[in-house]
């Protein structure tokens, strides 16, 4: 017997009007995401990754199709998932503690309780000592930790993370990936993660959806059958290397050569 998927996208597509002409940002997409798994969407810029997230988060009504969460129609419903936007910002006038508490506060938890819940987690997840610092005085990695913790603490069992490490240097990014895997293990959420970094997708995920553009679409779903827990050494194992190459080849095949010249 297979368990009911946590999140389903059924025939979801998105057509925008651009200069009076229809523009297909997303051709019909079907996704089935099992509970408690880490899923990545990978694809070139403009293939509709953030559009999928906006639709799942209920911020953008799809042109066709439905979003189901736990088997129930959640199309257009806001607040059913935790969502860290690609350009997620911490409020500069709130310290780290109050930024992390914000997600809970918005959902109606009192400030006092939100702070009390956030405090031990800041310590546990590498932000101890930074509770009363303001975002402007933090490194990029620390800011992303705070933004990710805020997203996880809203208590939604599905969490969407849109390129959270895209702007970080290689070393910080690598540490943040390990940190995120620790959170994933501890929190038991269903995570959907957007990236254009193949190694990152393979390292983190249970399944990868490979996307292509013009029109944005899913071209393949790949299971990642690497054991967990994973540590960095896994990236040089033959299975990891083969998986990464397969993914890169798919992406290259899908993108027309003129994109490289652009
Ligand atoms: N509100 C909008 N109106 C018109 N076009 C849009 C809108 N949002 C996104 N697009 C277009 O849809 C395509 C997919 O965008 P997006 O989902 O942001 O891609 P990705 O996140 O994969 O880089 C892009 O060509 C983008 O310009
Ligand atoms: Mg995007």
**In sequence order, what DSSP letters do the residues of 166-233 get, joined into one string?**
TTS-HHHHHHHHHHHHHHHHHH--EEEEEES-HHHHHHH-SEEEEEETTTTEEEEEEE----SS--GG
CATH of domain 1-80+158-164+193-257: 3.40.50.300
Pocket test for ligand 1, best of 14, 16, 49 (most atoms within 8 A of CB): 16
C-alpha 111 to ligand 2 mean position (Å)? 32
Nearest-CA residue for ligand 1 atom 9 is: 51
| Ligand in closest contact with the CA of 23 | 1
Domain boundaries of the chain, sorted by first residue: 1-80+158-164+193-257, 82-155
pLDDT band at 81 (very low <50, low <70, confident <90, very high): very high
C-alpha 35 to ligand 2 mean position (Å)? 24
Query: Of all atoms in ligand 1, which is nearest to the CA of residue 216?
Result: 14
pLDDT band at 115 (very low <50, low <70, confident <90, very high): very high
Nearest-CA residue for ligand 1 atom 27 is: 46
pLDDT tens, position by position, 30-64: 999 999 999 999 999 999 999 999 999 999 999 99
Is 0.75 topped by the overall pTM? Answer: yes
* Per-residue confidence (pLDDT) for residue 258, from 0 to 100: 57
Higher pLDDT, 9 or 156: 9
C-alpha 120 to ligand 2 mean position (Å)? 32
SS (H, E, C) 152-179: HCCCCCEEEEECCCCCCCHHHHHHHHHH
* Per-residue confidence (pLDDT) for residue 155, from 0 to 100: 80
C-alpha 192 to ligand 2 mean position (Å)? 13
Percent pLDDT > 70 in the chain is 96
Whether residue 259 is predicted with pLDDT greater than 60 in this model: the reply is: no
Whether residue 190 is predicted with pLDDT greater than 50 in this model: the reply is: yes
């Amino acid at each position: 017997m297979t368990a009911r998927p946590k999140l389903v996208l059924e025939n979801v597509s998105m057509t925008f009007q651009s200069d009076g002409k229809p523009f297909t940002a997303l051709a019909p997409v079907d996704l089935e995401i099992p509970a408690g798994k880490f899923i990545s969407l990978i694809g070139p810029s403009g293939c509709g990754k953030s559009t999928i997230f906006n639709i799942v988060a209920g911020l953008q009504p799809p042109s066709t199709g439905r979003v189901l969460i736990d088997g129930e129609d959640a199309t257009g419903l806001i607040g059913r998932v935790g969502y860290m936007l690609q350009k997620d910002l911490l409020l500069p006038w709130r310290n780290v503690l109050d930024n992390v508490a914000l997600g809970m506060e918005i959902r109606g938890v009192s400030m006092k309780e939100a702070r009390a819940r956030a405090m031990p987690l800041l310590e546990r997840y590498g932000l101890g000592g930074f509770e009363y610092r303001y975002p402007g005085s933090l490194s990029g990695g620390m800011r992303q930790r705070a933004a990710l913790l805020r997203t996880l603490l809203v208590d939604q069992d599905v969490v969407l993370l849109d390129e959270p490490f895209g702007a970080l240097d290689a070393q910080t990014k690598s540490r943040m990936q390990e940190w995120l895997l620790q959170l994933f293990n501890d929190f038991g959420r269903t995570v959907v993660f957007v990236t254009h970094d193949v190694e990152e997708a393979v390292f983190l995920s249970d399944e990868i959806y490979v996307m292509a553009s013009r029109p944005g679409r899913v071209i393949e779903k790949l299971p990642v059958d690497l054991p967990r827990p994973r540590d960095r050494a896994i990236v040089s194992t033959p299975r990891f290397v083969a998986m990464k190459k397969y993914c890169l080849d798919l992406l290259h095949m899908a993108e027309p050569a003129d994109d490289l010249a652009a």
